[in-house]
Structure 1
Amino acid sequence: MKKTKFYGLLAVVALGVFSVVLIAADHIDSPAVAGTAVDIADLYAFEGSNPDNTVFIATIQGPLTPGAVTENAIFDENVLIEFNIDNTGDFVEDLVIQAIRRDSVMYFFGPYAPAEVGMNSTINRDNLAGQVEISGIDETITSNNNGMSFYAGPRRDAFYFDFNQFNLVVSGAAAPEGFLPSGQASDFFVGLNVMAVVVEVPNSMLGTAPAHVAGAVGINGLPDAYNVWVTTKRKQ
């Protein structure tokens, strides 16, 4: 059983609820990670087109102009992307789904119980779930294996934010009017890309979801929910 050790650099946290899309956004981090394969942009977790499946999406390294996405090497072979899933309600990962690039292929492992929790991880290569050729600019390649589906490559950034007005607000130049109404706001991210890693998983592989943290039936009557977060970890 071959294992590789990785050490965590950062994390984005979100609550994955089946009936809605849950998003955590964190574009453009500190200079130590900005523009690199460890810089997480968004995390999405939502019910698949098959209601018995859950889709997990991590986007990294945004924002990128389409012309900047020219090489598969934009996914770093030394960076592990890890979806963490808590199915007991204690906010500690019970299962992980891991993705890492080798040459032009993204390999996926899990879901399985991790040997370690927290910011350090190992890959148990006996738990290979599937693999997919990394997509280029003009093509979308997906693969399926044992009920799971996979994708890795550039996608349009779905995040909406008037970044220019935000800068004016922060500098005081837009005080006191603040942010613009939706009809006047400008989406800074329109036409920009991120690198996306996508995996769709049958819920039967994820275990029974715990009660929502807000109560037995959750917020606005939402059902039980997994707690989901994503981390990027560099090989040491």
Structure 2
Amino acid sequence: MKNFKLLLSVSLVAISGYFLLSADHIDAPAVQGTSSDITDFYAFQGSNTNNLVFAANLQGLLSPANTADAAFDENVLIEFNIDNTGDNVEDLVIQAIPRDGKMYFFGPFVPSSTGLNSMIGASATQTVVDITPYGEQAIIATNGNISAFAGPRDDPFFMDFAQYGEIIAGNASGFNNPGSDTFAGSNVLSVVIEVPKSTIGGTGTINTWVEAKTKI
């Protein structure tokens, strides 16, 4: 077992059946440029309405020239946390950690401890997928009703930072439509898993957040 300690978290409140996201670009200088840097977190109902999808994007602002050399850090655990009882403490987790060109997913499972420290759930349901190389067709692995992906993707988040600066400076009253996408042409490293709702438990609203934790 490996111990992991919290580096950074991005939180989200998700309601089953709806698409919600949290974004955090260029706001974590201590980990910027590494796969500890969480840029976006998405949680949404899958095309199969019996499923939920959890997606974390990492290491943003990758240029096309640098994306092929970008890699997940084998000392960094990505952990999706799920609170289905409304107490803001994780009842279930899904973990993802890379090894030798593959991403290993564990869960969902009940963690042995909550909060800042985590142990890899080696006895939990395991789904393994080859990390998709840049520029190649997405490799998706399935394990029963669970599907998983890991690899570089075009950054899907839209933000006009120049106009945002004008608004903050008092020079503009709002955003343009459609505006200019600051992240156009840049890439991220994505970790995505789709699981049956039945494995999440609870009904109605769930709280979910993602953390990047480093091995100690």
* Cα-to-partner distance string for 1:109-147 (whole Å, 9 max, x where unaligned): 011111111111110211142100000112210000021
Gaps of at least 5 residues in structure 2 are: none
Question: Within 1, Cα distance between the matches of 2:116 and 2:177?
Answer: 39
Q: Offset at 1:162?
A: 0.7
Runs of 4+ in 1 over 4 A off after TM superposition: none
Kindly report which structure 2 residues correspond to 1:63-82, keeping only aligned pairs within 5 A, or say none: 63-71=61-69, 74-82=71-79
Counterparts of 1:1-236 in structure 2, within 5 Å, are 3-71=1-69, 74-139=71-136, 140-170=138-168, 172=169, 175-183=170-178, 185-209=179-203, 224-236=204-216
Conservation of the 8 A alpha-carbon contact between 1:107 and 1:128: no
TM-score by length of 1: 0.87
Distance 2:22 2:119 in 1: 25
Contact 1:157–1:192 (Cα < 8 Å) also in 2: yes
d(CA) in 1 for partners of 2:181, 2:142: 34
Indicate if the aligned counterparts of 2:152 and 2:187 stay in contact, CA closer than 8 A: yes
User: How far 1:178 sits from its partner (Å)?
Assistant: 4.3
Residue 165 of structure 1, CA deviation: 2.5
Structure 1: distance between partners of 2:28 and 2:148: 30
- Matched-pair contact (CA < 8 Å) for 2:164–2:175: no
The answer to whether the 8 A contact 2:52-2:197 is kept is: yes
3-state SS, counterpart of residue 81 of structure 1: strand
List per-residue Cα deviations over 1:197-231 (Å, max 9, x = no partner): 0000011111123xxxxxxxxxxxxxx12111000
Unpaired segments of 5 or more residues in structure 1?
A: 210-223
Check whether the contact 1:22–1:44 (CA below 8 A) recurs between aligned residues. yes
Contact 2:21 2:43 in 1 (8 A): yes
* SS at structure 2 position matched to 1:126: coil
- The structural deviation recorded for 1:169 is 4.3
Kindly provide the amino acid, as one letter, of the partner of residue 60 in structure 1.
Answer: L
CA contact (8 A) 1:29 1:39 kept: no
One-letter amino acid of the structure 2 residue matched with residue 197 of structure 1: V
Q: How many residues align?
A: 215
Q: Cα RMSD between the aligned structures?
A: 1.4
CA contact (8 A) 2:10 2:41 kept: yes
User: Counterpart of 1:52 in structure 2: which amino acid?
Assistant: N
Contact 2:108/2:125 (CA < 8 Å) preserved in 1?
no
Tell whether the 8 Å contact from 2:166 to 2:172 is kept in structure 1 after alignment: no
Greater Rg, structure 1 or structure 2? Answer: 1
Question: Shift in Å at residue 74 of structure 1?
Answer: 1.5
Separation of aligned partners in 2, 1:44 and 1:122: 24
Identity fraction in percent: 48
